[in-house]
Amino acid sequence: MIFLDYQSRVPIYQQIKEQVIMLINTGVYAPNDRLPSIRALSAELNINVNTIKRAFQELEAEGVTYSSQGRGIFVAENPLANEKLKENAIADIKQAVASGKAKGVTKSDLQKLIDEMYEV
């Protein structure tokens, strides 16, 4: 259920984080559901345990999950990190747009891009 792009410059732990968040957002995992164990994911994705751990460490720090020694990792009661994540994403876009504006990207360029990306 998690797909990694080894070509991407986005670090693997980051890809894992984002996909776990998406699985939660789409309801595949509900609050207090137990997520697959670190070792299971490590085996399934063929990724080192430490890399998976890092992904979950950050998810926990961001309030998306909580872990319980010996029991596993669970979806937080209220993974409100979603809101924060969205805000961060918007901030990132804002920065990219600001940078683009200085390089000649026009409003209609962006309009076109958005229409493309959000078309049905």
Partner DNA sequence: GTGGTCTAGACCACA
Which residues of the chain form contacts with DNA (CB under 7 A)? 11-14, 35, 37-40, 47-51, 53-54, 56-57, 60, 67-73
Return the number of the residue (38 or 75) whose C-beta is nearest DNA: 38
Q: How far is the CB of 118 from DNA (least distance, A)?
A: 29
Q: How far apart are CA 38 and CA 20, in angstroms?
A: 12
Cβ-contact 71, 32 below 8 angstroms: no
37 binds a second copy (CB under 8 A): no
- Please state, in angstroms and as integers, the Cα–Cα distance from residue 110 to each residue in 76, 87, 95, 102, following that order: 36, 19, 14, 13
What number of CA atoms fall less than 13 Å from residue 61's CA on the CB side? 7
Q: How far apart are CA 18 and CA 77, in angstroms?
A: 18
Q: How far is the CB of 68 from DNA (least distance, A)?
A: 6
53 binds a second copy (CB under 8 A): no
Residues that bind a second copy (CB under 8 A): 6-7, 10-12, 18, 21-22, 25, 58, 61, 66, 68-69, 71, 74, 77, 82, 85-86, 88-90, 92-105, 107, 109-111, 113-114, 117-118
